[in-house]
Structure 1
Amino acid sequence: MAGRPLGPIPASTPPELRALVVRLRDAKEASGKTFEALAKDGGVSESVVRRALAGKRVPLLETVKAITRACGRMVDDMARAWHAAKAEEALPGARELGPKMVSSRAELVESMIFMRITGGYPPLHQLEKDAGSAPDGRTRLPHSTLHLVLKGRIPPTEMLFTAFMEALSVPAADSRNWLDAHRRLFADAPARRPFGQPPPVVRDEPPAFTSCEAAERALPRLERDEEIKRKTGQLKEPDDYELLGLGYLNAPAPDFLWPQYDEDELAALEAEAAAQQPAQQHVDLYEKLRAIIDRSASA
């Protein structure tokens, strides 16, 4: 691997990244060191050195500093080149502004990203760790919340913005100016509810009904609905068969089971029924049972 030369810088490489990679390659050639020697003197692996000089993406700032020291070059100059390349990658086309020049919330979020670039672009988990914990034990700078802020999805609270600047070691004088800009731009932003606090009660809405109150209001309405259906014939009283669970005995047979008769057959059936003796009178079952019991008792 040590003798394999680097390929050309890709044509799609952005200008600032191309300028950084060219400076790193020039420093390597001027030092006369191999990749293996650069990796050993810089305290990094040879594959890391090769990826940094490939020009496909912006390397870590620590990697750039390690290669620059191993080549015997000034770290500050190379760090400024890295800063320009990282800003081009993270905020293409954006311009770094001071706290008094920021005039919108989006520009303030962009300024937070520039602060992160100036601080070496540490991972969000590292920023959360560097910010420490609040007196109640909760983290001051949750990485998931910070991710949403830097994506512009939610506004940064003053507490989160302060913890963010402290984690990046922003100078005190600059921090005060940035806090003034934050208060100016987010003065009318709705405050987010603290963790664990229930949502506020909306006073212009009627109070929620309890289960008993709801039942007391629902039962009269159901009774009125049933009375209307009963009067209009939509609801009928259950007969004895239905009360005994024998409703199927009174249920009409399906239409397809009824026999089909013509006029002559119907006339013959009516004549046959008229010739038969009258049907037995309806007898009250209750009275019949009472008579049987009385006869049994007298015997």
Structure 2
Amino acid sequence: MAGRPLSPIPVSTPPLLRALVQRLRDAKEASGKTFEVLAKDSGISVDVVRRALAGEAVPTLRTVKAITGACGGKEDDMARSWSAAKAEEVLPGARDLGPLMVSSRAELVESMIFMRIGGGYPPLHQLEKDAGSDENGRTRLPHSTLHLVLQGQIPPTEKLFIVFMEVLPVPDTKRRNWLDAHRRLFADAPARRAWGQPPPVVRDEPPALTSCEAAERALPRLERDEEIKWKTGQLKEPDDCELLGLDYLNSPAPDFLWPEYDEEELAAWEAEAAAQPSAKEHLDLREKLRAMIDRTEPA
């Protein structure tokens, strides 16, 4: 498997990456080394060597230099080809402008990315580690903040920009010019909050109304709704029965049908009522019963 020849470079490979991969392949062929020998001499694995020569993605600068050195080529010359291919991948169509030619904030951020490419495009965590901490133990180049800066979401502070150039590193002869360009473009940028200070509370909704303001707005609306109900007949003046709670008297009588009785039934009921004892007889019976309970004679 290790001796399997490489496939042709894909047609979709960008031009500068294609040129870099072709130069690496030519260097390998000129050295006459197999993939195993080349991997051993360069200190990287066979799979890494094959991926670097496949042309599907830009390899790391360390891999390119290792392969070039193992093949006996010039590392600096190959590093320039790698920088061009990496810039084509990260910033397609952008130009690496000098500090005197940068005229916008976006171009300065692009220049920071070119600085990162010139330093081998190290990971942001590695840049944070290389920057170290200040006298208070705080990291000088937080990777999360640097990520937002390189994405163009927040402006780079002067302090962060200086540390960024020191870590990569940018030559001292260019740092002053780059710092002047930063001050020229970000002079009116809003200052970021100090360390430990909570972020400001931003509310999109309007401020809350006081009770008086809310009442002044609600009363006209209630009056307008009540006027509409008066005009449509939903409201009316109450009468005396409604005020006294006797509105049930005005309710219509239920449809009640009295039963019909014949004369014989009415006569029988009257005779039965006449045969019932009078109220006085009922009273006498009650008095006798009470006397029996009290064991006394009735008066």
Q: How many residues align?
A: 226
CA distance in 1, matches of 2:80, 2:171: 19
State how far apart, in whole Å, the 1-side matches of 2:49 and 2:163 are: 34
CA distance in 2, matches of 1:51, 1:20: 13
1:57 matches 2:68: no
Aligned counterparts of 1:164 and 1:38: Cα–Cα separation in 2: 35
1:194 is matched with 194
Bigger Rg, which one: 2
Distance 2:169 2:79 in 1: 17
* Aligned residue number for residue 124 of structure 1: 124
1:174-231 Cα distance to aligned partner (Å, 9 max, x none): 11111110000000110111121245799xxxxx9xxxxx9xx78xx8xxx9xx9xxx
Residue 163 of structure 2 aligns to a residue whose secondary structure is helix
Which position in structure 2 is the counterpart of 1:261? 254
Counterpart AA for 2:84: A
TM-superposed CA distance for 1:261, in Å, is 3.3
| Cα distance in 1 between the residues matched to 2:200 and 2:149 | 24
- 1:52 and 1:75 map into 2 onto residues whose CA distance is 15
**Unpaired runs of at least 5, structure 2:** 203-207, 227-252, 259-299
- Name the CA shift for 1:185/1:23 in 2 (closer, same or farther; >3 Å): same
Instruction: Give the whole-Å Cα distance in 1 for the aligned partners of 2:199 and 2:98.
Output: 37
Distance 2:151 2:129 in 1: 20
The aligned residue for residue 104 of structure 1 is 104
2:69 corresponding residue in structure 1: 69
Give the CA RMSD over aligned residues.
Answer: 3.2
2:73 partner SS = coil
Bigger mean CA deviation after superposition, 82-91 or 169-178: 169-178
Deviations along 1:214-264, whole A, 9 cap, x unmatched?
9xx78xx8xxx9xx9xxx9xxxxxxxxxxxxxxxxxxxxxxxxxxx932xx
Identity %: 77
1:183 corresponding residue in structure 2: 183
* TM-aligned CA distance change 1:35 to 1:180, over 3 Å: same
Partner of 2:9: 9
- The whole-number CA distance in structure 2 between the counterparts of 1:59 and 1:201 is 44
Aligned partner of 1:261: which letter? P
Residue 283 of structure 2 is matched in structure 1 by: none
Structure 2 counterpart of 1:41, one-letter code: D
Distance 2:77 2:166 in 1: 26
The SS at the match of 2:164 is: helix
Change over 3 Å in CA distance of 1:3–1:201 after alignment to 2? closer
Q: Shift of the alpha carbon at 1:162?
A: 1.1
Deviation at 1:2, TM superposition (A): 2.0
State how 1:207-286 maps to structure 2 within 5 Å: 261-262=254-255, 265=256
Q: TM-score, normalised by structure 2?
A: 0.69
Shift in Å at residue 160 of structure 1? 1.1
Question: Is 1:29 aligned with 2:29?
Answer: yes
Post-superposition Cα deviations, 1:9-65, rounded to whole Å, max 9, x if no partner, equal: 000000000000000000000000000000000000000000000000100000000
